[in-house]
C-alpha cells in the first residue's frame, strides 16, 4: 500500500502526498526535515536481488549526472523488507502534458525551445562514457518550472551502454505513440530511440495530437499523419524536422541529438536564442485553497507522478487560431446577442424553462452529448534484452502466421445476437472478484467483494459455466459453457456474454458455428474484440472476434498448440501459452505478427499469463514435477527472454501452499489467485503484489477457482 501522509522515512523525510503510483511502487512528495526543503521520493517494493540491484543502479546513474536540464539525486537507502527509496529534487511547476492540455497547442517557438533544451540534455547523456539512454521521453516527463526552465525527468527506464553490453535500471512501460518500433523488440535501442521519442513529444505539442503508434506503422496498420495536414500554417522546415525524427527506420532519423537540435534551430531561425539555455513561458501560478497548499500543477522528479498523456489520438481537437477581422465582427455580434438575451431573461425570468419545455427538455437536465474527460491511455512495455541460457526459437521455426477472415459454414444456423462493444476505462481500487465454484454441485460463476463478503451466484447454466473474463468497463462478463469440470481444453464449449448492467439473459458470442469448442475468452481493452482459444482448426489456436465488424481472425496459424490469450493494457499485444515440449509464455501483436518468446524457464510449464495494469510486468503460474508443484511467478517485460523471473512471494518466504491463476487488481497492488494448502480444497486468496498481506477470501467446502478481478470502470 502507498505510504500515508505524515510517514517519516529514514528519520528524515516526511511524506506529504502521493504524486503517482505503478506496479513497482510509488512516487511521493516529501519534506527533508533536516534541510526544510521539498523533495521527491521514489519507491521500489520488489526487493529480490535483481530488482534491488537495478533500482540502486538507477540511483547511481542519476547521481552521476550533472546538467542544468536534469534532476539531481540527494540520497538513497533501503529500509529492511519495506522497500528501497530514492530521494531526488522536487521539480515544481507543470509538465508538458499539463501545458498541452491547458493551452491546446504550443507555438512554434515554444516547441523549438523545448526541443532544443531536451536535445542539450540528450547530447550530454549520449556523449558520456558510458552512454546513458533515457528511453521514456514523453510530455509527462518534461517539466517546466515557474521560472520557465525546461527539465527532463524520470530515469526509471534509463540504460547505460558499455560497448555491446546494456545495463537496464528499474523498468517501466511507455505510452503508445512515443516509443519507436525497436522498443517493441524489433532491434536494440540506442541514441536514436530517444530522438524518436522527443520527435513524438514535439509533434504532440505542436498539433495537440499523439502521433500514430510506431508498431502500427511498422506493421503497415497506420501511417504518420503529416503535421501540416493537421496544422496547415506550421513552418514547413519545422514540420519536416520533427517528421524526420519520427522515421520508423532508425537509420532515417537524425543520428545524434546535436543534429536534431541544429535542424530545429535552423527551421525556426532561432540560433541566437538556442546558444544559451532556452527559457519558455512559465506556467500560471497554482490556485491557493486558502491554507497555503498547492492544489494546482504541483511538481515531481519523474513521470511516475503523472498519468499517461491525455491527448486525443485523432484530428478532432480544438486549436488556437490567429485572430481575423471576421472573428472580431462575429465576437461583437455575439456580445450584442448575449446582451439582448440577458435583457429578455431579466424581463421574463420564466422564459428559459418555457423554452426547454417546448423543446422537450427539462430544466437543469444533463445533455446526452455532454463532454466527458478523455481516458488515460494505457501504457505498453518496451525494450528487448538478448536472452541468456537456452536458445530461442525463431520466426522461421514457428511457421507462418498469416491470418484469414472466417466465413460461416453451411448447416444449422446458430442464433446470432448483436453485442454492443464495451467502453475501455481501467479503474482503480479493489472492487469485486468473479470466480468459479462447484459448491452447488455444478460449476457456476460467482461474484464477491474483494474482501470475500457478499458472495452471490451469477450463472445458472444446466451444463455448468467457468472461465470468467471481464470487459474493461466491468459491465459485461464472458464465460464458457458447458463446463463440467476444470480442464485444460473444453471441447464443445461456447462463449457466452452476460450483461450485468441489464436484466437480459446471457447470449452466445456470435462467431461462425463450430462444434469443436471455443474457450479461454479474453476481452480486449478497446471493448470491441474478444480473443479466445478454439479447436475449430483441429488444434488449439488463438482467434480474435471483432464485435463491430463480425470478423473472425485466426492469429496463431502454426503447428504448435497455442491457448490462454491475455491482452496487454494497450490492446496492441497478446500474451499467450505456446506448447513447445513445455508450456511457455509468448507474445504477439494483436494481428498475430512478431511472435516472440517471453519466458525461457526450461523444463517448467508456464501458464495463465496476465499483465499488470501498466504493462510493465506479466504474472503467470509455474507448474513443475508432473503438475505437483505450482506457484506464482512474474517477469518484467523489460527482462523478457531472460532468467530474471521472480516468485511471489519470494522463494522460501511463507509456506502458503500451491498457487494458480493470478488476476491483478486494477490499481496494480493486489493479486487474487486460487490456492489449496491442504492439497485438496481449492479456495480464493488475495495478497499484495510483493507477496505480503495474505488473505483467504472463500472458505466453502466446495472448490473455488479461476478468480477474475472486476475493473471498476472509473
| 248: Cβ contacts below 8 Å, ≥ 6 apart | 180, 181, 214, 217, 218
Euclidean distance between CA atoms 480 and 255, whole angstroms: 52
Residue 467 backbone zone (phi > 0: left; psi -120 to 50: alpha; other: beta): left
DSSP H or E segment with residue 553: strand 552-554
**Which cell numbers hold the place of 334?**
455575439
Torsion 79-84-90-94 (CA) sign? negative
CA geometry: angle 246, 586, 653, nearest 5 deg: 110
Euclidean distance between CA atoms 314 and 212, whole angstroms: 9
Euclidean distance between CA atoms 319 and 231, whole angstroms: 9
- Answer yes or no: is 42 a known binding residue: yes
Closest by CA to 481, choosing from 491, 469, 470, is 491
- DSSP letter string, 200-217: HHHHHHHHSSPPPPHHHH
Location of C-alpha cell 499523439: 210
Cβ contacts of 72-80, under 8 Å, gap ≥ 24:
74/32, 74/39, 75/10, 75/12, 75/13, 77/10, 78/47, 78/52, 79/9, 79/10
Longest CA–CA span in the chain (Å) reads: 86
Crossing angle between the packed helical segments 325-347 and 351-358, to the nearest 10 degrees: 110
What are the backbone angles phi and psi of residue 347, rounded to the nearest 5°? -75, -35
Closest by CA to 609, choosing from 582, 645, 633, 643, is 633
CA geometry: angle 594, 597, 600, nearest 5 deg: 170
8 A C-beta contact, residue 664 and residue 612: yes
Q: Which of helix, strand or coil describes residue 333?
A: helix
3-state secondary structure 250-267: HHHCCCCHHHHHHHHHHH
Q: What is the DSSP letter of 163?
A: T
Torsion 366-371-375-376 (CA) sign? negative
8 A C-beta contact, residue 308 and residue 124: no
Give, in order, the Cα–Cα distances in Å from 659 to each of 510, 563, 583, 676, 687.
34, 20, 17, 7, 11
| 33: Cβ contacts below 8 Å, ≥ 6 apart | 8, 12, 13, 14
| Strand 165-168, strand 629-636: pairing | unpaired
| 131: Cβ contacts below 8 Å, ≥ 6 apart | 125, 160, 161, 191
| 705: Cβ contacts below 8 Å, ≥ 6 apart | 435, 436, 437, 486, 660, 661, 674, 682, 684
| 422: Cβ contacts below 8 Å, ≥ 6 apart | 471, 472, 473, 475, 476, 523, 527, 528
- Backbone Cα Rg of the chain: 27
| 397: Cβ contacts below 8 Å, ≥ 6 apart | none
| 656: Cβ contacts below 8 Å, ≥ 6 apart | 649, 675, 677, 685, 694
Torsion 293-298-302-308 (CA) sign? positive
Residues flagged as binding site: 42
Cite the annotated binding site for ATP by residue number.
42
Amino acid at each position: 500500500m502507498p505510504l500515508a501522509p505524515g510517514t517519516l522515512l529514514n528519520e528524515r523525510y516526511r511524506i506529504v502526498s502521493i504524486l503517482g503510483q505503478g506496479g513497482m511502487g510509488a512516487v511521493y512528495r516529501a519534506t527533508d526535515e533536516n534541510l526544510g526543503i521539498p523533495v521527491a521520493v521514489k519507491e521500489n517494493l520488489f526487493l529480490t536481488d535483481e530488482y534491488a540491484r537495478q533500482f540502486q543502479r538507477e540511483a547511481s546513474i542519476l547521481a552521476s549526472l550533472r546538467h542544468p536540464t536534469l534532476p539531481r539525486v540527494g540520497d538513497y537507502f533501503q529500509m529492511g523488507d519495506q522497500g528501497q527509496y530514492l530521494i531526488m529534487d522536487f521539480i515544481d511547476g507543470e509538465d508538458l502534458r499539463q501545458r498541452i492540455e491547458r493551452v491546446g497547442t504550443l507555438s512554434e517557438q515554444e516547441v523549438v525551445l523545448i526541443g532544443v533544451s531536451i536535445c542539450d540534455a540528450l547530447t550530454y547523456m549520449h556523449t558520456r562514457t558510458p552512454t546513458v539512454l533515457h528511453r521514456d521521453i514523453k510530455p509527462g516527463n518534461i517539466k517546466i518550472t515557474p521560472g520557465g526552465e525546461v527539465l527532463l525527468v524520470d530515469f526509471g527506464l534509463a540504460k547505460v551502454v558499455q560497448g555491446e553490453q546494456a545495463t537496464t535500471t528499474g523498468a517501466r512501460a511507455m505510452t503508445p505513440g512515443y516509443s519507436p518500433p525497436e522498443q517493441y523488440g524489433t532491434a536494440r535501442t540506442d541514441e536514436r530511440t530517444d530522438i524518436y521519442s522527443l520527435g513524438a513529444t514535439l509533434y504532440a505539442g505542436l498539433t495537440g495530437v499523439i502521433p500514430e503508434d510506431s508498431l502500427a506503422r511498422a506493421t503497415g496498420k497506420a501511417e504518420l499523419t503529416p503535421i501540416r495536414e493537421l496544422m496547415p500554417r506550421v513552418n514547413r522546415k519545422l514540420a519536416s524536422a520533427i517528421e524526420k525524427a519520427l522515421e520508423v527506420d532508425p537509420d532515417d532519423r537524425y543520428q545524434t541529438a546535436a543534429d536534431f537540435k541544429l535542424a530545429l534551430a535552423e527551421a525556426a531561425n532561432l540560433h541566437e536564442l538556442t546558444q544559451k539555455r532556452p527559457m519558455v513561458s512559465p506556467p500560471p501560478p497554482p490556485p491557493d485553497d486558502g491554507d497555503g497548499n498547492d492544489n494546482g500543477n504541483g511538481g515531481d522528479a519523474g513521470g511516475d507522478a503523472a498519468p499517461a498523456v491525455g491527448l486525443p489520438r485523432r484530428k478532432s481537437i480544438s486549436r488556437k487560431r490567429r485572430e481575423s477581422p471576421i472573428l472580431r465582427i462575429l465576437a461583437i455580434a455575439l456580445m450584442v446577442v448575449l446582451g439582448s438575451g440577458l435583457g429578455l431573461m431579466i424581463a421574463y425570468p420564466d422564459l428559459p424553462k418555457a423554452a426547454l419545455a417546448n423543446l422537450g427538455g427539462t430544466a437543469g437536465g444533463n445533455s446526452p452529448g455532454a463532454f466527458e474527460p478523455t481516458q488515460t491511455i494505457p501504457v505498453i512495455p518496451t525494450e528487448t534484452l538478448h536472452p541468456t541460457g537456452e536458445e530461442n526459437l525463431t520466426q522461421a521455426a514457428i511457421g507462418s502466421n498469416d491470418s484469414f477472415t472466417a466465413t460461416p459454414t453451411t448447416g444449422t444456423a446458430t442464433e446470432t445476437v448483436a453485442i454492443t462493444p464495451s467502453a475501455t476505462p481501467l479503474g482503480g481500487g479493489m472492487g469485486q472478484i468473479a470466480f468459479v465454484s462447484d459448491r452447488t454441485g455444478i460449476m457456476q460463476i460467482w461474484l464477491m467483494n474483494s474482501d470475500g463478503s457478499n458472495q452471490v451466484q451469477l450463472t445458472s447454466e444446466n451444463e455448468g459455466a467457468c472461465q470468467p473474463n471481464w470487459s474493461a468497463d466491468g459491465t459485461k462478463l464472458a464465460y464458457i459453457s458447458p463446463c463440467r469440470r476444470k480442464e485444460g481444453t473444453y471441447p464443445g464449449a461456447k462463449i457466452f456474454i452476460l450483461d450485468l448492467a441489464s436484466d437480459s439473459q446471457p447470449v452466445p458470442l456470435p462467431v461462425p458455428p463450430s462444434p469443436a469448442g471455443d474457450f479461454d475468452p479474453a476481452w480486449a481493452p478497446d471493448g470491441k474484440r474478444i480473443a479466445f482459444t478454439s479447436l475449430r482448426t483441429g488444434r488449439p489456436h488463438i482467434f480474435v472476434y471483432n464485435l463491430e465488424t463480425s470478423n473472425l481472425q485466426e492469429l496463431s496459424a502454426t503447428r504448435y498448440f497455442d491457448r490462454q490469450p491475455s491482452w496487454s493494457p494497450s490492446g496492441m499485444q497478446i500474451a499467450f501459452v505456446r506448447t513447445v515440449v513445455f508450456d511457455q509464455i509468448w507474445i504477439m501483436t494483436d494481428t498475430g505478427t512478431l511472435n516472440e518468446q517471453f519466458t525461457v524457464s526450461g523444463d517448467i510449464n508456464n501458464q495463465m499469463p496476465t499483465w499488470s495494469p501498466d504493462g510493465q510486468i506479466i504474472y503467470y503460474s509455474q507448474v513443475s514435477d508432473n503438475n505437483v508443484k505450482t506457484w506464482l511467478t512474474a517477469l518484467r517485460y523489460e527482462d523478457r527472454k531472460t532468467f530474471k523471473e521472480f516468485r511471489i512471494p519470494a522463494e522460501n518466504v511463507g509456506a502458503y501452499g500451491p498457487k494458480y491463476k493470478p488476476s491483478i487488481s486494477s490499481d496494480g497492488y493486489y493479486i487474487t489467485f486460487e490456492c489449496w494448502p491442504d492439497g485438496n480444497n481449492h479456495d480464493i486468496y488475495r495478497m499484495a503484489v510483493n507477496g505480503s498481506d495474505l488473505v483467504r477470501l472463500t472458505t466453502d467446502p466446495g472448490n473455488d477457482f479461476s478468480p477474475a478481478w472486476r475493473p471498476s470502470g472509473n
